[in-house]
Every structure is written in structure tokens, then in C-alpha cells.
Structure 1
Amino acid sequence: MFKRSFRSLMVLLFASILVLSACSGGSQSGSSDKGEKELTFMFRAGTDEAKAYKSVIKQFEEDNPGVKVNVVITSADQYATKLKAAITGKRVPDVFYIAPGEVRSYVHSNILLDLTKYIEKNDKIKLDNIWEYGVDSYRFDGKIQGKGDIYAMPKDVGPFALGYNKTMFEEAGIPLPDKDKPYTWDEFINVCKALTKDTDGDGKIDQYGTGFNINWVLQAFVWSNGADFLDKTQTKVTVNTPEFAEALQWFADQQNVYKITPSIEDSQTLDTYQRWMKGQLAFFPVAPWDLATFDKELDFDYDVIPFPAGKTGKPATWVGTLGIGVSKTTKYPELATELVYYLTASEDGQQKLVDARIQIPNLKDMAQEWAADTSTRPANKEEYLQIVEDYGRPLPANYTYNGEWYDYFFANVQPVLDGKKTADEYVKEVQPKMQELLDKAIELENQAQ
């Protein structure tokens, strides 16, 4: 109880710091010794993404003489900490990445500039040609996220598809998956069993059907089985249903019953991502941000399909996104919004990012052309568009004030994965604790308002 109370106090304290920092002003825009207008853009990126963004920024500077963009790049695991430090230190970047789950607190804390009027004045920004899911993720009317004013533009949308090792299927003489019809759970297990093998005859399994990370794939199985983490009001945790427990148990049984995924001991010597890269897994999730790395390092052919479907018979998965927002204290709101346009909605900028193989195009018409090109892997890129347009969903904590309630589920699920506790026992046990954390998040938001 003390730990939970202390954590809630710290969350409230941080929210207060954000409010005080925002009210006291401060950003990193200004003028250089040469009389240039300066903007600071802070983001996280790997090598390929950083190179692509620098190219877009260079074009922005060339098209806007007298403007200098100072780039601050961090690793993914350091970004949130460094951004919060910049905010509390009254050095808010003019332009920066923001996740959907941060929109509510950053709006309440006066960190984010409302971009709506700047977007409406910029006739180059065609919202009807940008994925609705991406734009709506950064809308907020003060109460409901997904509606109202726009506080960021989508850097990207990230549909999470299921990849499969096409070469492994062909060598085993197993029919390739149907890209238009998802496996049932039983069909998926049977295929995985057929592809789980001791390939070198040493008595140890070295090729598996799959090796999923529960944090990133359980949602697909839960949703396709007719269950969810929250009700429609986003105020009640709903993990304690038979359909949810069935999906969680099926996931755990992949290791404990069907033996189609590496054990914990096996994963300690070689994790499942490394096994996929070495061609030792039949199935593994593949997102657009993986494509550049897979182009360079995979020596087998692969493609993407829907995740296997539960009792609804329909596939499900999530769509990620990051946004690019503007500080409310920037000295140059029009210029900062123009930079956001270059990074999120300009044809030239999008083409540079797509050519770098780090995302699908934000622009719908460009995305259709991208998906139609079957000469680059994966051939079934159309699956990504179907996820964004049709059956993909936001992650459960995207639209709540914080994600502590959601994180609690995954932080304590290991006994189910180890076979020491049934899924039914776990969901009944964990739901009240998750609800308590969600109630506290709602209370914190009310206090922030």
C-alpha cells in the first residue's frame, strides 16, 4: 500500500512540476549570433531514422532561409527521461516526439501548443489524405481523447502484423499461409507443431513455431476472442472475463502444453528476436520500423499475414503511433508548425522516410502506391494498410491518463506463463488491483484539470 501511495504521490508531484514549468515559460527557440531564427527538435531514433530525419530537416532549412534547426537525438530508452528533464528545467524543445498516452497530461499541464488554427491556415496540410487514426490519436477536447483540437501531428502509424518465415515453409513442404484468411487457433498450433524441430539431430529443439513477447501480442488474441482490457467508457477494467482468460491461457499453453516456443531457459541463451533473425522461428511479429534492419540482416524470405483469430473468427492487432508536437512556449509557433508539416505531411519528407524503410507513408495516396510495390519485402504490404484502415486498434493505455493500471497486468503475469497459476485465477486476482490503479489515474486527471 505504501508503494502504491508513494507512486501516486510522485505522479501528482510530477504533474505539478509540469504545470509550474509550463506556466513559467521557457523553450529552446531563439536567435543565433548570425541573426538566424533557431528551433530545437528533440526526438529518439536509430541510425537509419536519424539519417532520414536529418535529410528532411536540411530541406526545411533550405526552403526557409535564415532558419536553423538544432537537432537533439536520444536513444529510445532515454527519450522520456530526457524530455521530462528538459521540461522541468524550463528548456522545452520547440518541436518534439510525444506518445498518445502523454497527450492528456501534457495538455492539462500547458506543455503542448494547440496546433488546430495553424494547421487550418496551412493549405499544404491535407488532413483528409492523412490516416484518421494518426490524427485522431492527438485530438483532445479536454475530456475525451480522439475528439476536439489537434495537439500533435502523427509522425507515423505503426501497424503490428504477423511475419512468417516463407523459406522455412517452402523447405518443409507446408502450404503458405493465406494472406486473406487468418489461421484459427487450432490451425496455428498445428502448423507450429509441424515446424518445431531438432534440425541438427543433437536431441535438442533448435527450430520453433514461434516465440511471442506477451506485452506486444496478447492484445491481438484477447481482442480476436471477443474480450478487452477496458469497457467502452475507459473507466472499468474488464480482464476478468472468460474470453480474456481463454486468450491468456492459450498464450501460456504455447510454451507449457504445445512446446512450440522456446522455454525460459532456452531464451536465456538466445532470445526469440535473435532466433527469428537467425531463421529459427516460423512466426514473429513484423512492424514497419523493422523493415530496414530486416532488409540488411535476414538471409531468408518472409512475408506478413494477420494474427490467428479466436472465437470471433476475425483478426485483431494494434496500431502504434508517435506524434510530433510543438511547445506552447515556442517563440515561433508558425515556423515550428511548418517544421511539423515537413516531418509528417510533406510529400518530399514522407518519401525520404519511406525510402529509409522505417515507416509506412502517412499520406494515404502515397501509402497505396507503396503497398502495391511487391518487389520489396514484405510482398503483402497491403496487410499494413488493412490494419490501419480496418481492424487495428490503439493500445489499451493510449487514452487513459497514465498506464500504471495496464503495466501492472504484465508486471505480474509471469506465474501464468510458468504454468504455476491458471489464467482464470490470475485475471480474477489482478482485476481489482488494476481497477484501483485506473481509479487513481482518473482522480489524478480530475485534479490536473
Structure 2
Amino acid sequence: MKRLMKTTIAFILMLMLTVLPACTMSDSAKDLNSSAKNEVGKSGESITLRLTLWGAPNEISVYKKVIANFEAKNPNVKVELQSIPTDYDTKLTTMVAGNDEPDVAMMESGSIALPLAEEGKFLNLQTFLEKDPDLSLDSLVPNITYSSEVGNIIGIAPGPESYALFYNEDAFKDAGLTAPPSKVSEAWTWEEFVEVAKQLTLDNKGRNAADPEFDPKNIKQYGVNIGTFWGAYSNFIYSNGGDFISADGKTFALNQPEAVEALQKLADLVNVHHVAPSPVQAKNIPATNVALQTRKVAMVVDGQWNSSSLADTNTNFNVGVLPVMKEPVSTVVCGMFSIFKSTEHPEESWELVKALIDPEGSIDMLTYGTWMPSLKTWYTEDELVSKWTDNLKSRPSGYKDAVIDVMLNNSHQTPTGYVKNFNKIMDVVTPALDKVWLGQQTAQEAMDAIADKAQAQVKGRRDLE
């Protein structure tokens, strides 16, 4: 078809030069090329875009709706959806190795996207954002774009997530305690948080952790569960002024005072205050929705995506702002959509990405509680905010202050987005931290012991100008 079009254009061009001698060749060519492009856009050269992603059945259902709407608006474009529910990274890597890359793909920043970006596999989405009349970098929520280097955006998140403090309201009422604050200006200090957690931690005889007779070996309700995933504890490292690597990107930083102090305070919840389960004890703690419903725990630090599963239970739950060590912070984590450089249809692929991150298209995911919107206006304009928060069990009374306001004003990018070689660094860090959570070493001892090995994996930061 391309060869036929070139032949047709050449013939028409010769004809126009014959009948319109007053036109210069450059003017005629320019006008004709413009007309040809407009005709393709109007008549619609039939093209197919391949989209790969993962997701639960309800998420795939939403994507199918988005695709159907996109195809209706773009009748010349067919989207071939390829859902890969398991071993996504491995299967996509195999596709890339076999030169069988999709046009658009969902990516996770730490595991596959940034390594592929360093191989130059993706288009720079910043060039699209800079010229698009409908979408710009400023219109997106903070910390939801991923870059291989400054100025080279390789992915945009369709549904960002942040962390918050979920809690069982009945547990607080039974203990005679005031519920956690939802406003950042009223956030608990770490010390206040620990004292509340003690009141909520009960042994099998109903004594709380502040009672001298409390039995830490027979706990029926823990005050809090934070877990040992880096996404959860990163909130407190950032809150305490720490980081995974230094500001100049040259030095491993988890053995520095700010990070060590945060890690130690988290470990002390388990081993000193006995208000949180150890990794061994946590094996008997169910997922957040069940843990709060059954009162295995009274509070959980977890991602806002738990709103959906909690809404499906009869738990009387709410959400508060995270406790603060020095500054209020919530880490943003999310998947992203990227466009492979090998696509033959970059403009159409960009329009598909725009459709995938459009909150209107994913409204079911927003109201269900799984996602948050990617556009700032959906956090700041009352009419739009009400679409995904009003009168919904998945969005309890504390949600707007504890989650929406924090997302806009107190969020921090996931370390996978800016720490180069993050997974290799964490391969060294995680086993060492297991000794901290189990009380076998202090945070300082554990991080100092692996500092040299971790330093060998430090490759810099992506957010440096």
C-alpha cells in the first residue's frame, strides 16, 4: 500500500505541476503531502496495535472497555489485547529477545522497564507530552512518570497508589481511643503512634502491651502490622530524611543515620514494644482486609489499593494519615504504560496510552477502590473528585485528607523509579534486614555488614540533572 501511495502521489504531483505552472515545486509538494496525510487520517488506513498487560479479571474488564471506546473513536485502529497473568516479565523479555515486541506494554519500573529502557527499547514520552494539546507533564499527578534519564520519560502510570494507615474503627472504640488523624497537620508523631499501638495490642487474657502483666508470647490482637516489604518501610525512611542512596547517586545510604534510625524504630515495634508481628509471626497474619476484619491487627500500614478488598467485607474500617518521624511522606508505587521504539505507529500508540490513563475510562477501577487517578484535576476539582469518592464504602471519611491530599502534597517517588540497579542493591539488603526484623542484629550492625557489597551495586540516580 505504501508503494502504491507513493506512485499515486508522484503522478498527481506531476499533473499539478503541468496545470499549475504558477506554483513552485516546493509549494506543490508541501500542499500535496499535507492533503495525503489528512486523507489517511480521514479515511483511516487500517492498522493494528498490540497491547500487553497484566491484571486481575476486574482490571482486564476495564481495559476491554477502554479499548472498545478507543476503537469506536478511532475506527481505523484495532487493538489486540494480550493479557499475561503470570510470569509477565519473563514472557515479555522472551518476546523482546525474539523481536516480537508489542506496540504498548504495561511495565513495572524496577524489574523490567528500566533495564529495557537502558537498552533504548522505548520511545521518549516527554516529546509527546510537550506537543500534546490535551495532556502535559504539569497535568499529571506528581511521581507517576518514570524516566531512564532526566528528560527521557519511558512510562506513565494509569493508576497510581500511595500508602496510608488503615484501621478497624471498632478496635479503637473498644479500647476507648480516639481514631487516627486523617489530616497531615494533625498526624501522630512516631512516639504517639507507638503508645496507641501498645493500647491496641492485646494478649490472650485481654491485657494490652502497656500492662506490666502483658504476655508478648500470646498475642491475640496486634496493634499494627507494617510488613517487611521495601515499599512499606520506605515511607518511614523518607519521613526521617533518609534514602536508599545518597543525593549525588554515588553512595549506599541505608547505613546512614537517618535510614538506620527509621529501620531500627520499625524493628523495635516487633522486638521491643511487641506491638507488631515478626516475620515468623506474620505468616499467621492474613491479608490486610481479613486481618482487620478478624481483628488479628487493629491498624495496618499498606497501599490504598486495599480500599477495594476492605469494601468487600463488613469491616468497619477507615483510613488515617501515616505517623510522622520528621516530615509527612507517602511513597507512590504504580505500574506504567510504555511505547516500544519498534512500533510502526507511534502517534496511534500515544493516543492509546492517553486513553489507558484517562480516569473517565478507568472509572470502575477508581470507584471500586483499586486505583487512584493520574490527572491532577481529579484531585482538585470538586466535581471530578466526587466521581470517585462520594458515597462509596471504598472511600471512607478519612480518605480525602489521608490519601488524596497526601498524594498531591506529600508524596515521594518509588525508589525503583530513580535508584539505578535497585533490585541488585536490594538483593544484598533484604537478607540483612531479615536479621533486624528478627532482633538478631541492630539496623546499624546489619547495614554496616553489607555496606561494601551494596556499594558495589550502586550505579547512580536517574533524577540528577
TM-score by length of 1: 0.80
Report whether the alignment pairs 1:291 with 2:307: yes
In the alignment, residue 402 of structure 1 is paired with which amino acid?
Answer: N
- Residue by residue, what CA displacement relative to the aligned partner does 1:187-206 show, whole Å, maximum 9, x if unpaired? 11211111111467798422
In the alignment, residue 289 of structure 1 is paired with which amino acid?
Answer: W
Going from structure 1 to structure 2, the CA distance change for 1:288 and 1:419 (only over 3 Å counts) comes to: closer
Asked if the contact 1:41–1:70 (Cα under 8 Å) also holds between the matched residues in 2, the reply is yes
Post-superposition offset of 1:253: 1.6
Instruction: Give the Cα separation in 2 of the matches to 1:41 and 1:112.
Output: 14
Q: How does 1:136-151 map to 2 (within 5 A)?
A: 137-140=145-148, 145=149, 147-151=150-154
Name which of structure 1's ranges 229-238 and 258-267 shifts more when overlaid on structure 2: 258-267
Going from structure 1 to structure 2, the CA distance change for 1:154 and 1:388 (only over 3 Å counts) comes to: same
User: What residue in structure 2 maps to residue 124 of structure 1?
Assistant: 134
Going from structure 1 to structure 2, the CA distance change for 1:49 and 1:169 (only over 3 Å counts) comes to: same
Report whether the alignment pairs 1:183 with 2:198: no
User: What residue in structure 2 maps to residue 16 of structure 1?
Assistant: none
Post-superposition offset of 1:70: 1.4
Asked if the contact 2:104–2:339 (Cα under 8 Å) also holds between the matched residues in 1, the reply is yes
Report whether the alignment pairs 1:343 with 2:356: yes
Report whether the alignment pairs 1:420 with 2:425: no
Asked if the contact 1:53–1:353 (Cα under 8 Å) also holds between the matched residues in 2, the reply is no
Structure 1 gap ranges (5+):
1-34
RMSD over aligned Cα, in angstroms? 2.6
Going from structure 1 to structure 2, the CA distance change for 1:414 and 1:94 (only over 3 Å counts) comes to: same
Instruction: Give the Cα separation in 1 of the matches to 2:224 and 2:319.
Output: 14
Post-superposition offset of 1:126: 4.3
State the SS of the aligned residue for 2:233: helix
Asked if the contact 2:201–2:275 (Cα under 8 Å) also holds between the matched residues in 1, the reply is yes
Instruction: Give the Cα separation in 1 of the matches to 2:174 and 2:385.
Output: 27
Report whether the alignment pairs 1:278 with 2:294: yes
Going from structure 1 to structure 2, the CA distance change for 1:234 and 1:442 (only over 3 Å counts) comes to: closer
State the SS of the aligned residue for 1:262: coil
User: What residue in structure 2 maps to residue 19 of structure 1?
Assistant: none
Going from structure 1 to structure 2, the CA distance change for 1:230 and 1:255 (only over 3 Å counts) comes to: same
Name which of structure 1's ranges 425-434 and 281-290 shifts more when overlaid on structure 2: 281-290
TM-score by length of 2: 0.78
User: What residue in structure 2 maps to residue 111 of structure 1?
Assistant: 121
Instruction: Give the Cα separation in 2 of the matches to 1:149 and 1:228.
Output: 23
Asked if the contact 1:286–1:304 (Cα under 8 Å) also holds between the matched residues in 2, the reply is no
- Residue by residue, what CA displacement relative to the aligned partner does 1:392-434 show, whole Å, maximum 9, x if unpaired? 2122232133221134211321111111112221121122211
In the alignment, residue 227 of structure 2 is paired with which amino acid?
Answer: N
Going from structure 1 to structure 2, the CA distance change for 1:201 and 1:175 (only over 3 Å counts) comes to: closer
Asked if the contact 2:310–2:317 (Cα under 8 Å) also holds between the matched residues in 1, the reply is no
Instruction: Give the Cα separation in 2 of the matches to 1:195 and 1:70.
Output: 51
Report whether the alignment pairs 1:366 with 2:381: no
In the alignment, residue 380 of structure 1 is paired with which amino acid?
Answer: G
State the SS of the aligned residue for 2:457: helix
Q: How many residues of Structure 1 are paired with residues of Structure 2 in the alignment?
A: 396
Name which of structure 1's ranges 336-345 and 390-399 shifts more when overlaid on structure 2: 390-399
Instruction: Give the Cα separation in 2 of the matches to 1:357 and 1:169.
Output: 24
- Residue by residue, what CA displacement relative to the aligned partner does 1:237-285 show, whole Å, maximum 9, x if unpaired? 1222233222222211211121112344533334463423433211112
State the SS of the aligned residue for 1:412: helix
Report whether the alignment pairs 1:433 with 2:446: no
Asked if the contact 1:43–1:96 (Cα under 8 Å) also holds between the matched residues in 2, the reply is yes
Structure 2 gap ranges (5+):
1-44, 208-214
Report whether the alignment pairs 1:91 with 2:100: yes
In the alignment, residue 79 of structure 1 is paired with which amino acid?
Answer: Y
Post-superposition offset of 1:371: 4.8
The structure that has the greater radius of gyration is: 2
User: What residue in structure 1 maps to residue 234 of structure 2?
Assistant: 219
| Corresponding residue to 1:169 among 167, 172, 178 | 172
Going from structure 1 to structure 2, the CA distance change for 1:227 and 1:270 (only over 3 Å counts) comes to: closer
Post-superposition offset of 1:98: 2.2
User: What residue in structure 2 maps to residue 328 of structure 1?
Assistant: 341
User: What residue in structure 2 maps to residue 10 of structure 1?
Assistant: none
